[in-house]
Amino acid sequence: MKATDSRQSEREVSEDVLRVLQALKQNSEMTQRDLSRKVGISLGKVNFILKALIKKGLVKTHNFKNSRNKKAYLYILTPSGIEEKARITYRFLKKKMMEYERLEEQIRLLRKEVDEIESSSRIEVDINP
């Protein structure tokens, strides 16, 4: 795997982790399948992310008390998980703001180029009636 592929993969994982943490913050009573649907990633990836978050102590699990499915869990953010979510959110926002600024600059340059093309087209039309 190339270094750029690796960085892209890390970014995707970070975004997926952030989306999982955000979804758990909103509703800790989701199954992994529900979580998978809500954040738009595969069930296997949700399972992988949750296991990693639990291992790091960012999420803890409890069985549903009133669930017929005894394998159903509550996924609760720990205080460390809430802090990590804040850090990831900050990094994600910072990255998206940089992307936004680059896009704004690109749009500005493209508009300038289009204006120049339109301007030169008008000149050609004016010269050749």
Domain of 51?
3-98
37 found inside a domain: yes
| 86 occurs within a structural domain | yes
Q: Which residues contact 59 (CB under 8 A, 6 or more apart)?
A: 24, 50, 53, 75, 76, 77, 78, 81
- pLDDT tens column, 11-57: 666 889 999 999 999 988 888 999 999 999 999 999 999 999 999 99
Per-residue pLDDT reduced to its tens digit, 103-113? 999 999 999 99
Does some domain include residue 81?
A: yes
Is residue 24 domain-resident? yes
- 43/31 Cα distance (integer angstroms): 10
In a domain, 106, yes or no: no
Q: What pLDDT score was predicted for residue 123?
A: 56
Task: Fill in the DSSP letter of residue 40.
Answer: T
Dist. CA 56–CA 51, nearest whole Å: 9
- Residue 44 within a domain: yes
Looking up residue 28, the CATH number of its domain turns out to be 1.10.10.10
Count of domains forming the chain: 1
Unique residue bearing structure tokens 């940089």: 98
pTM of structure: 0.68
Place 67 in a pLDDT band, splitting at 50, 70 and 90.
Answer: low
DSSP code at position 9: H
For residue 105, tell me if it sits in a domain.
no
30, part of any domain: yes
